[in-house]
Amino acid sequence: MLKLQRLIFRTLKFCVVASVIAGCSPYFYQPLGEEREAQLGPETPVKKELLDLPQPKEPIVVAVYKFRDQTGQYKASEVGANWSTAVTQGATNILVRALEESGWFVPIERENISNLLNERKIIRSSREQYEGNNGVLLPPLLFAGVLLEGGIVSYETNVYTGGAGVRYFGTDASAQYREDRVSIYLRAVSTSNGKILKTIYTTKSILSQEVSMGVFRYVKYKRLLEAETGYTYNEPTELAVTEAIEKAVHSLIIEGVLDNLWSLENQEEIKDEQIQNYMAEKEDRVDIDHMGRPFEQHLRGKMFMSILGTAQFYAGDYSTSYIRPGATWELGYALHKNFFLETDVGYQRIFIEDLMTSEEYYADISLMYLLNPKGKFSPLFGVGGGTYYDFDSNVGLSDERLIPYISYRAGVEYLFGNRLAAIGKVYVIQLFSDRYDGEIAGQFNDHIWGFKLGLKYYLGKN
């Protein structure tokens, strides 16, 4: 009975944890209700901005012959060839709808103009045959002053990928994400002289997420518990294309107003909040890359100095060593935006139970590589060499006053502002001698493991 109660308790505990994970997600969706009826399609956040633009002095008649998929990409498949395209082939329909509902344009049929012309021929023929009217004239077709061209020029997959997970004794939980990106180009061409009036470029990210949790373990002899739960969220590619196209139409309207290609009904609305926000967004986009980082962002100065606390322990011919504190002072100079020449001067304590308590000073010089100098957070790696020295006696239990070494280090740095940063490193020091502990044995020299934690301050120009 007790074992059964434990099994029930573990099962309930797993269900509660799984429910909490599922409930914390804003995207969790289980289609367990009644079957949904047909409904209007979902709108994008840009649609409201498009509808809220100031009114035009006079709508512009535009023609769209073909707004096509120019990527040539097919959907990725793990089981073989897939001839389904990665993005929608109906982008012309999306563009025409965005133009129509914006209130700024009067789109005319040009994609299937042959069907329209054939229908007009049938109308004329029928009237002549049954009404006896020869030379019946239909109202003329509208002609466009502006021709819209362009298409979907790029669909990039796996722009960002990542995730996290944990597994412990047959129980696991994990989360993964992936970001794709679609890009749109839209240009307006004058039909009177063929001049390209304006070209617009927009892009939209497409997010995919997966969260899962499971358990697989024996709860008793010949009793295996296996359960799993999770969900996936894939943003529809069609909605991403729609949003990018609507953003392009929105941008085209504002750009045309600013360049006097078309006019507002009330010229005072040139100061409208949407127009000002667009101008600010356009100005900001000039200086940042596809990840949203400034192109020439050099936050760190050419020189730095650091004060760090250390903790280290010995690994050598004796098995027992305890971590003891120390301190170090660093001074560095930038050779390149990624490479720094760094010098260290420090003090350390090494304790081996029932054998020694040693205190040494050391100095070294190393080459440090900063992986992300443009960002506030950056991993770093380094390699260098130096020596241990003791003023009063020999280094460790050796009979030497100097023991040279080579060091390897890796860590992370986070910049709080333009000058001050927090830094943490782990390091290993490989001695050139096996005499540190006074015992020469084995194939490997003595070495020191440790970590550093402290503050760094940058000097000079960025």
The answer to the question of residue 235 being in a domain is yes
Q: Are residues 280 and 330 in the same domain?
A: no
Q: Say which residue, 319 or 57, is predicted with more confidence.
A: 57
pLDDT tens, residue by residue, 219-260: 788 788 888 888 888 888 899 999 999 999 999 999 999 888
List pLDDT tens digits, range 252-271: 999 999 888 888 888 888 88
Q: Choose the final residue of a domain: 249, 275, 294.
A: 294
150 and 131 belong to one structural domain:
yes
| Side chain identity, residue 325 | P
Residue 13 has pLDDT above 60, yes or no: no
User: Is the confidence at residue 47, as pLDDT, over 50?
Assistant: yes
Alpha carbon distance 105, 99 (integer Å): 6
Q: Give the pLDDT score at 408.
A: 92
Which pLDDT belongs to residue 404? 84
Length of the chain measured in residues = 462
Whole-number pLDDT of residue 153:
92
Is 31 in a helix, a strand, or coil? coil
Does residue 89 form part of some domain?
yes
Tens-place pLDDT, residues 333-369:
988 888 899 999 988 888 777 677 778 888 899 999 9
CATH classification of the domain holding 102? 3.40.50.10610
Same domain, yes or no: 279 and 370: no
* Mean pLDDT score, 59-79: 85
Give, in order, the Cα–Cα distances in Å from 2 to each of 215, 232, 252: 21, 38, 72
d(CA 35, CA 54): 41
pLDDT at 317: 66
Q: What's the one-letter identity of residue 375?
A: G
> Mean of the pLDDT values across residues 130-156?
84
In a domain, 14, yes or no: no
The pLDDT value recorded for residue 75 is 80
Give yes or no: residues 398 and 312 share one domain. yes
Grade residue 169 by pLDDT with cuts at 50, 70 and 90: confident
pLDDT in tens, 73-98: 888 776 666 778 888 888 999 999 99
From the centroid of its chain, how far is CA 356? 51
- The predicted pLDDT at position 430 comes to 86
Spatial separation of the C-alpha atoms in residues 148 and 105, rounded to whole Å: 11
> How many C-alpha atoms does 92 have within 13 Å on its Cβ side?
17
Assess whether 352 and 408 both reside in one domain.
yes
Look at residue 410 in the predicted model and tell me its pLDDT. Answer: 92
Q: How many structural domains does the chain have?
A: 2
Q: Report how far apart the first and last C-alpha atoms of the chain are (Å, whole number).
A: 70
Residues 211 and 70 in one domain: yes
Within this chain, do residues 309 and 283 fall inside the same structural domain, yes or no? no
Average pLDDT over residues 19-24: 49
User: For residue 414, is pLDDT > 70?
Assistant: yes
Whether 284 maps to a domain, the answer reads yes
Which token pair is 247?
């953003």
pLDDT at 27: 44
- What local confidence, expressed as pLDDT, does residue 138 receive? 82
Residue 10 resides in a domain: no
230 Rama class: left (phi>0) / alpha (psi -120 to 50) / beta:
left
Q: Which domain covers residue 345, as residue numbers? A: 303-459
Best mean pLDDT range from 34-43, 287-296, 433-442? 34-43
Q: What pLDDT is attached to residue 26?
A: 45
Together in a domain, 174 and 282: yes
In this predicted structure, the answer to whether residue 2 has a pLDDT above a threshold of 60 is: no
| pLDDT-derived band at 1, boundaries 50, 70, 90 | very low
Residues 159 and 288 in one domain: yes
Same domain assignment for residues 288 and 359? no
- Residue 102 and residue 199 in one domain: yes
> Is residue 147 domain-shared with residue 205, that is, in the same domain?
yes
The pLDDT confidence band at residue 374, using thresholds 50, 70 and 90, is confident
Q: Which of 156-170, 176-190, 409-423 has the highest mean pLDDT?
A: 176-190
439 in a structural domain: yes
Is residue 406 in a domain?
A: yes
Arithmetic mean of pLDDT, 374-400: 78
228-245 as b/e, with b when 16 or more CB fall inside 10 Å?
ebbeeeebebebbbbbbb
Q: Is residue 314 part of a domain?
A: yes
d(CA 88, CA 394): 76
Out of 68-72, 115-119, 292-296, 377-381, least confident range? 292-296
Percentage of the chain exceeding pLDDT 70: 82
Q: Residue 319 sits in a domain of what CATH number?
A: 2.40.160.20
Summary mean pLDDT of the chain: 82
Which among 294, 317, 350 is the end of a domain?
Answer: 294
pTM of the model: 0.66
Final residue of a domain: which of 248, 269, 294?
Answer: 294
What does the pLDDT look like over 271-325, one tens digit per residue? 888 888 888 888 888 777 777 666 656 667 788 899 999 998 877 767 667 888 8
